[in-house]
Structure 1
Amino acid sequence: MSSTTRPAVSIVIPTHTEDRWDSLVRTVACARSQNFAPAEVIVVVDHNPELYRRVRRDLAGVTVLENAYAKGVSGNRNTGAFHAQTSVVAFLDDDVIADPDWLGRLVEPFADPRVVGSGGAISPAWEFERPRWMPDEFLWAVGGSYTGMPTRTAPIRNVWSASMVVRRETFVAVGGFRVGFGKLGDRNRPEDTELCLRMSALDGGHWMYVPEAVIRHEVPASRSTFNWFLHRCYAEGRGKVQMAGLTERGDTLATERAYIWSLPRAVVRNLGAALRGRGVDHALRAGGVLAGVAAAGVGTVVETVAARRTPRTAQLEAAR
């Protein structure tokens, strides 16, 4: 798709705390300097008046909005996307750096009218060193692309909102991200996956994964601990059960089941590498896989039991 036929795109960047000010400034700078220039960069502040005033004062050349919905990143993103006037809307988190051709590559799949959205590869940018026990298959736990994802541009069930582009017409038709279902405090529910499922289901459209469209996602030291890893996997197990409870589709968790069945191979591969003298790190990563599966499994059981005790209407109401 040539630059003359690409649709105009707005980039929405949600933010909520001044603790990420330096990261936000970098994210805005890389958004504005994309080789395929966005029509508008929109920063949306989540119920933080001081930060809102600072963004308006210190970040020139961007549109600044306040979250028009309940506190949380889902409402933050919706505020920006509903404000945008372009036919395509991109989302970036406020702690990422996008390659200069990130936006142009993610817009290319929209030449196919059946494409409702796209997403790119996410490379973890560790504050310190990557933990020796962190398995490639669990990099999603720190917001990164993981082993098993496509290595070439290909259809995919869902992408992540840290690096996401949507067809605005479809996004608006499904009501955007589900407000109340997402990341807030210690809750970590997959609002991006849930959105992808609804957008695909609307008219049979599909999502595309573009691994050449790369962002680097900051991973602070606090998210590099084994305890944080276990908590994140536990939350993921609970969140996926909650997500499944919001839809009537029987295949909602088919991707997760296929992923789980791939993990024994990861354990065997890492243990084999350790036994062949390729380093103790491989043995540690095999243990990381087992620990991650166990933590997610516990979360799944806990949430399944809780869901059986809660009527479906109450589940839907709680997610709003």
Structure 2
Amino acid sequence: MLVLMFASVLMVEAYVNAEFAPDSAQTTGGAGSIPESVQNGGPIIDTTNGGARSFGLPKKTIALTFDDGPDPRWTPAIDAVLRKHHVPGTFFVVGTQVARHPDIVRDLVNAGDEIGIHSFTHPQMVKLPKWRQEIEYSHTQMAIVNATGRKSNLLRFPYSSTVAAIDDDNWKLMRDAGRLGYLTILTESDSKDWDKPGVDKILDNATPKDDTGTISLWHDAGGDRSQTVAALDRFIPLMKERGFEFVTVSEGLRRTLAERDPAASVTGNPPATKADRQRGLALTAAIAIADRTVDGLAVLFLIVGVLTVIRTLALFILAARHARKRRSAAWTWGERVTDPVSVIVPAYNEKEGIEAAVQSLADGDHVGGIEVVVVDDGSSDNTADLVRAMRLPNVRVVQIPNGGKPNALNTGVAMASHDLIVMVDGDTVFEKESLGRLVQPFADPRVGAVAGNVKVGNRNSLVARWQHIEYVIGFNLDRRLYDVLRCMPTIPGAIGAFRREALRQAGGMSHDTLAEDTDVTMALCRAGWHVVYEERARAWTEAPATLKQLWTQRYRWSYGTMQAMWKHRRSLFERGPSGRFGRLGLPLVALFGVALPLLAPIIDLLTIYGLVFLDRTETLIAWVAMLGLQFITAAVAFRLDKEKITPLWTLPLQQFAYRQLMYLVLIQSGLTALTGARLRWHKLRRAGTAGAAAPAGVAGVQAVGPVPVVDPVKPLGRDELVRPRGVASVPPNPYLDTPAQRDQDFLQASKHGILP
């Protein structure tokens, strides 16, 4: 509905903004089927009721006619000259301008001037089909009715001139117009003010050569009309001195007809009916809506441009500063962190990738020791069995009823033995050095959490390549910026590290939003902890391989981000670290994470509009410039991340499909948030290809033999926290197989409502 509405509005705007050249282009031609009475007659042509008559003005009379208005500057200036000399004028108006400046036309009528029709968009009428010609007349008529409450029976075609210039095509136009009740008004003397030849030349062109009555052509729009105003101010007194009288076109025609029939009556602007006024109001309202909409889009386009430039400059400056600082030989987080680490892996139906994920974690080279806690969140496949069958000594498996990812993470934290906690998605594999690098920032006691570098592992499809580009530019480059500004809004669920104390102060992982990682990160920032980015700690994840899966994932992400922003909105007004994050971090997320993506479709919308209705060359140049800016940003991001730039060949294609999908996702998320609808968690299908593009040696999993059959859904009892049912023997686990550890685990789990 939004697309249809905008398309309709833009079509209206394109129609009413059709560009036209001034009346300098005049039709030339001659006879043919044109009656002799018309060829040798006057400039007023009557083809109503199937007739073919022409009339001129009486001697010593001049009808001043003005084309192409109204213009908000020049029409009032010209009318002021007419009022000064107490003479009337006949204004042949363009309908689109009447709709936009109805008050000017209303003032003209109130002052005694006459209004004629000059088409709605000023096209070459002979090139239009008949139905479009009639629309040009009727729409202008409706605009005049709305402005004045009166209609017009006078019509002058754009680019028309004298009787001598009528050709067969124009004669057909006149006959068709006559069937609709219009009198065609041509000219006899042309001031040629459209050419701006100078005041003296305009006077010479407009001055009659004898005492014959004349319809004189001037212009009150279409450019600078200062020469017209000056010439008119001299022309009227000169003609009055010669004894000429100034009349409107209909008054001149009445006088001509009165010479034959004293009772003849001519009304150029008869009153309109109520139905005519209603139609006029509807048309004017539609144009006003289109104008305001496009004006608003232009403002938003400017905002988008400014935001894009600001974001690009900020990324270049701050990301480059971040990279230079980290590359410095003197850079260090402090003393090497050798404390043991507990890795929490929440898993729900992750059989495709869980073995590779767990193997990569268990094989990490962190010198302090690694404990892996796999929390099976009520999986209906054999996720837990696959992990148990691997028989890794530093891996623990806990099965709980399905309660959502935050509950699984909190369970893992409760079961963890150490104070440094790493949280990893079940479809993510780590490089061997990643765990050790990820926890090094904890050498700084102010650091409460660390975001790692997420990489797309499955880059074989076009959709996945686009996400790879997005991860490098939109996520990892942004994290460098947020790191420098100390307002990191999100630690990715695929690779993030936390101090247990920081998690405790933040209240743990919350069910309040669908983006628990963003929620907890914002809470940490508000609590005063530093949240930093360690780009050397890399994890490889499996991105959605289809547009449908991508939609599902991003819908949840964007909606969850909006929820988290709303949840932490009070930080905007608080003091201390919370206020600092609220007045820096939240606006950045709102501007660059929500507003800019929401407004970005305007670029594409106006690009299409420009290609169809405006200058194609200028539009293409602007679009290519925007694409070039994105290429530069992408090249910088790929260089900082030490990625090959080969995938960037898909960036132009990304503009035509991927970006539009992201627009719609964000719009849907916004509407969901505004309506208060609830969104459930959607599980994505995995293919176990997270490590497909990872360096050699990452996530290699060997076969471990048959998997024992157990019930994975039923909650485990106290003893089964240690030794799963159905497994004959399990290698000793230094973290589990002690009575004291078992009692502690059972008590911790009971506090979290994990066990019956």
TM-score of the superposition, structure 2-length normalised? Answer: 0.35
TM-superposed CA distance for 1:55, in Å, is: 3.4
Q: Which has the higher contact order (CA 8 A, sep 6+)?
A: 1
Cα distance per residue 1:215-264 (max 9 Å; x no partner):
11023xxx222333344433333222222332322334632423456665
Counterpart residue number, 2:359: 29
Counterpart residue number, 1:218: 542
* Equivalent residues of 1:14, 1:92 under 8 A apart: yes
Counterpart pick for 1:196 among 521, 527, 534: 521
Q: How is 1:1-320 mapped onto 2 (pairs within 5 angstroms)?
A: 1-3=334-336, 5-17=337-349, 20-37=350-367, 38-48=369-379, 51-61=383-393, 62-67=395-400, 71-126=403-458, 128-131=460-463, 134=466, 138-139=470-471, 145-150=475-480, 154=484, 155=486, 156-178=488-510, 180-181=511-512, 189-202=514-527, 204-219=528-543, 223-247=544-568, 248-250=570-572, 251=582, 252=586, 254-259=588-593, 271-272=627-628, 281-287=650-656, 288-306=658-676
Distance 1:284 1:254 in 2: 28
Cα distance per residue 1:137-190 (max 9 Å; x no partner):
6449xxx94554428975433211210100011212333101x346xxxxxx21
TM-superposed CA distance for 1:65, in Å, is: 1.4
Distance 1:146 1:213 in 2: 12
Taking a change above 3 Å as real, the CA distance of residues 241 and 73 of structure 1, as seen in their structure-2 partners, is same
Give the % identical residues: 20
AA partner of residue 190 (structure 1): A
Distance 2:539 2:462 in 1: 17
Distance 2:421 2:387 in 1: 21
AA partner of residue 571 (structure 2): R
Taking a change above 3 Å as real, the CA distance of residues 270 and 112 of structure 1, as seen in their structure-2 partners, is same
* Equivalent residues of 1:132, 1:284 under 8 A apart: no
AA partner of residue 124 (structure 1): V
Cα distance per residue 1:22-54 (max 9 Å; x no partner):
521111111111121434111111124854455
Question: Which secondary structure does the structure 1 equivalent of 2:542 belong to?
Answer: strand
Unaligned runs of 5+ in 1: 183-188, 308-320
* Equivalent residues of 2:409, 2:509 under 8 A apart: yes
Q: RMSD over aligned Cα, in angstroms?
A: 3.5
Flag the structure with higher strand content. 1
Cα distance per residue 1:264-294 (max 9 Å; x no partner):
599766634899xx99833321232244134
* Equivalent residues of 2:456, 2:464 under 8 A apart: no
Distance 1:269 1:159 in 2: 33
Counterpart residue number, 2:66: none
TM-superposed CA distance for 1:57, in Å, is: 4.4
> Which sits farther off after the overlay, 24-33 or 254-263?
254-263
Distance 2:389 2:648 in 1: 52
Distance 2:648 2:493 in 1: 35
Larger Rg: 2
Unaligned runs of 5+ in 2: 1-333, 573-581, 605-622, 632-646, 678-756
Taking a change above 3 Å as real, the CA distance of residues 271 and 102 of structure 1, as seen in their structure-2 partners, is same
Counterpart residue number, 1:311: none
* Equivalent residues of 1:95, 1:218 under 8 A apart: yes
Taking a change above 3 Å as real, the CA distance of residues 22 and 305 of structure 1, as seen in their structure-2 partners, is closer
Taking a change above 3 Å as real, the CA distance of residues 30 and 243 of structure 1, as seen in their structure-2 partners, is same
* Equivalent residues of 1:137, 1:146 under 8 A apart: no
> Which sits farther off after the overlay, 239-248 or 104-113?
239-248
Question: Which secondary structure does the structure 1 equivalent of 2:375 belong to?
Answer: strand
Taking a change above 3 Å as real, the CA distance of residues 27 and 74 of structure 1, as seen in their structure-2 partners, is same
Question: Which secondary structure does the structure 2 equivalent of 1:21 belong to?
Answer: coil
Taking a change above 3 Å as real, the CA distance of residues 175 and 94 of structure 1, as seen in their structure-2 partners, is same
Taking a change above 3 Å as real, the CA distance of residues 255 and 153 of structure 1, as seen in their structure-2 partners, is closer
TM-superposed CA distance for 1:193, in Å, is: 0.6
TM-superposed CA distance for 1:100, in Å, is: 1.2
Question: Which secondary structure does the structure 2 equivalent of 1:117 belong to?
Answer: strand
Alignment size in residue pairs = 288
> Which sits farther off after the overlay, 115-124 or 245-254?
245-254
Distance 1:159 1:211 in 2: 12
Taking a change above 3 Å as real, the CA distance of residues 14 and 302 of structure 1, as seen in their structure-2 partners, is closer
* Equivalent residues of 1:109, 1:118 under 8 A apart: yes
Taking a change above 3 Å as real, the CA distance of residues 293 and 2 of structure 1, as seen in their structure-2 partners, is same
Question: Which secondary structure does the structure 2 equivalent of 1:245 belong to?
Answer: helix
Taking a change above 3 Å as real, the CA distance of residues 273 and 225 of structure 1, as seen in their structure-2 partners, is farther
TM-superposed CA distance for 1:298, in Å, is: 2.9
Distance 2:625 2:363 in 1: 42
